[in-house]
Structure 1
């Protein structure tokens, strides 16, 4: 039965924790506030250490808080992160997404810096500044960084933030054994989608959307135990889904996997969501890492990394790449369906001027089709933003005052 205009605009008959206002996906002011209160306070994955194998290797990173950053390995092999901004006139220092730079020189006025962030040359410095200003006053602005949880390089632009270990807490416990050996990126690609970053993270936070995947419907969803997997929520908005084994040979076009993953059962699957937009997804022989980087409220860059073991033989590496591309890569079975779904959501959200709500109301005893993962995410979002996701235009302090 269709609904009238009045019925369409009514708030869902659920507790306020079980639905959200669509304004949180489209409102420019709310997005700017997210950058300040969420992305500029949380630990974010910038890259993987294997992408910086040699001294002076660097990688640039568009931080979701809005600041340009680069990550670089020094002569001492330590990985450091800096704002990608010259302290003289605010010009961009490194333009290429990846490279090797023993000396970082600004193209504007040729000021130079080393990979430790020290200024090593100011052109005509004495003539222009005499003793008033020199290299000691012009170092690069460093960003807190740490390597962990599979060799990923994490950054935090908040100098007063907690440590990475405190931020993650126990959330990565299910993968401790599986990430105990050195890893290496075997595939990288990215997608830019006209959608909100939360809509992408939503697809990684609930598996009711498995109905969008033909391959999942004929493999994972028909296996014993699929519907029994339990969500576990952790502090800071992180969550995990219990592991299970998937029989990929249930699909006629699949062949038996030639390589597995240490500590993971054949066909095993473990997924962990890290707030506010990163997902570890370990399946059978490949770890996929999604990193959601919003470019605005309605535009999202997603970085996808496929990882294998650094110790792999060439034959094992080739097998992992084949497995990755058959399922996870841009021409695989799953990714294009997820991207199509969130693209459609992004289009619809921008058109919903009369109305308002997205429901997160499924309750199935915290199992895989329960939307508890999304409710856990939005509880953390609401706490950090000082707004309820279901009523974001009333700040908590305003509500308390009333």
Structure 2
């Protein structure tokens, strides 16, 4: 057997922060633990306020911790979230992904609830329960909800969680001035990929994989300052990649962008990763928001939103849509390659028996091709899980990784 194939079986000769064990991508038990210790404790983006602009507008949301939720704008215009579960017999209340419901009525026994989550009617309630039980005992189970950081509706199913502001900390500082105006979603799509959510987050956390993208190589990597962008890690696992300007007209057939973004330089690019799986990606004229929602250890749903300014004229909005669809959206020049990359990782990881580890070992002074972003991510993962990402089941002898 060739020596290099033997080395695949050995503990990598790197600091333990620079590699992870492959079971963290495939193990069903670890995934269930992640749902409990990570997703059920973190703030997660459920939708954008522009998707529910009117009283009684709602969206259903499959929380990555497993709970089905309703995000609804009340008659008082406040955005609230509730479990999409009737408190009577646990039936699903709303089946459509979007809609408008002044009254939410369960199809099972016709119990009804208003947009504030209060029960407003129990069919034959007096006859069946007399004075023992009535509407005041049957409200919907509310979930913590805050709107912020670009108008997104964030939810947290942990009643004892910190505030959204405390969770984000200073991580959004680079985008603050660019999110000062009301935004509006003009494009939504989702992709379901046979991979682990951490592998998708990897594509948003390191740019060594720009070698996979022809378009990025000729519009970004050749530009002055590309290799100087610095990673900055923040508490709670968040990270940002320093901004730069991209020369999009370097690609034959491209043209100078006809519309920009408040406070952003022409061709500007700012990217911020929010733990455990959300990415703000502002490029020139469009904000793209990615939200990773794991459906299992080996299956991932990613929600993609393209956003412009609410005040856009029809011509400005058309230009943003064009930019999104031809460059950054699902029909653009590199998103499909990202999806193919993490899909291939997911397929191979489940069959990977020759090696137990994945390296995050590149060191380039925390610049853009340094893998410090993922090392920062896995340090937070390990802290929340109470496990070592490089040895989640404590099977490596300490002297082997000293």
TM-score (norm 1): 0.97
**Distance of 1:329 and 1:32 partners within structure 2:** 31
Residue number in structure 1 paired with 2:204: 204
Tell me the alpha carbon deviations over residues 262-313 of structure 1, each in whole angstroms, 9 at most, x when there is no partner: 0000000000000000000000000000000000000000000000000000
**Distance of 1:389 and 1:113 partners within structure 2:** 44
Residue number in structure 2 paired with 1:293: 293
| Secondary structure of 1:199's aligned partner | helix
Residue number in structure 2 paired with 1:338: 338
| Secondary structure of 2:154's aligned partner | strand
Q: CA deviation at 1:5?
A: 5.0
**Distance of 2:125 and 2:282 partners within structure 1:** 53
Residue number in structure 1 paired with 2:281: 281
| Secondary structure of 2:71's aligned partner | strand
**Distance of 1:73 and 1:207 partners within structure 2:** 38
| Secondary structure of 1:85's aligned partner | coil
Cα RMSD after superposing both structures: 1.2
Q: CA deviation at 1:364?
A: 0.1
**Distance of 2:355 and 2:126 partners within structure 1:** 63
Q: CA deviation at 1:355?
A: 2.8
Residue number in structure 1 paired with 2:250: 250
Q: CA deviation at 1:352?
A: 1.2
Q: CA deviation at 1:329?
A: 1.4
Equivalent runs, 1:70-109 vs 2, <5 Å: 70-109=70-109
Cα distance change on mapping 1:246 and 1:5 into 2, 3 Å: closer
Instruction: Say whether 1:123 aligns with 2:104.
Output: no
| Secondary structure of 1:37's aligned partner | helix
Q: CA deviation at 1:127?
A: 1.1
User: What stretches of structure 1 of length at least 5 have no aligned partner?
Assistant: 396-402
**Distance of 2:128 and 2:3 partners within structure 1:** 72
**Distance of 2:290 and 2:330 partners within structure 1:** 13
**Distance of 2:155 and 2:94 partners within structure 1:** 18
Tell me the alpha carbon deviations over residues 18-50 of structure 1, each in whole angstroms, 9 at most, x when there is no partner: 000000000000000000000000000000000
Equivalent runs, 1:20-169 vs 2, <5 Å: 20-169=20-169
Q: CA deviation at 1:7?
A: 2.4
TM-score (norm 2): 0.97
Residue number in structure 1 paired with 2:10: 10
Residue number in structure 2 paired with 1:399: none
Q: CA deviation at 1:6?
A: 3.5
Tell me the alpha carbon deviations over residues 196-240 of structure 1, each in whole angstroms, 9 at most, x when there is no partner: 000000110000000010000011000000000000000000000
Q: CA deviation at 1:354?
A: 4.1
Q: CA deviation at 1:353?
A: 3.1
Cα distance change on mapping 1:5 and 1:367 into 2, 3 Å: closer
Q: CA deviation at 1:327?
A: 1.0
Count residues in correspondence. 396
| Secondary structure of 2:289's aligned partner | strand
Q: CA deviation at 1:394?
A: 2.3
Residue number in structure 1 paired with 2:237: 237
**Distance of 2:232 and 2:2 partners within structure 1:** 36
Residue number in structure 2 paired with 1:398: none
Q: CA deviation at 1:328?
A: 1.4
**Distance of 1:376 and 1:293 partners within structure 2:** 20
**Distance of 1:217 and 1:383 partners within structure 2:** 36
**Distance of 2:60 and 2:268 partners within structure 1:** 34
**Distance of 1:258 and 1:344 partners within structure 2:** 36
Runs of 4+ off more than 6 Å = none
Tell me the alpha carbon deviations over residues 129-175 of structure 1, each in whole angstroms, 9 at most, x when there is no partner: 11111100000000000000000000000000000000000000000
Instruction: Say whether 1:218 aligns with 2:218.
Output: yes
User: What stretches of structure 2 of length at least 5 have no aligned partner?
Assistant: 396-402
**Distance of 1:327 and 1:392 partners within structure 2:** 39
Q: CA deviation at 1:4?
A: 5.6
Tell me the alpha carbon deviations over residues 34-72 of structure 1, each in whole angstroms, 9 at most, x when there is no partner: 000000000000000000010000000000000000100
| Secondary structure of 1:221's aligned partner | coil
**Distance of 2:189 and 2:51 partners within structure 1:** 13
**Distance of 1:265 and 1:354 partners within structure 2:** 47
**Distance of 2:3 and 2:371 partners within structure 1:** 24
**Distance of 1:68 and 1:256 partners within structure 2:** 43
Residue number in structure 2 paired with 1:267: 267
**Distance of 1:49 and 1:87 partners within structure 2:** 26
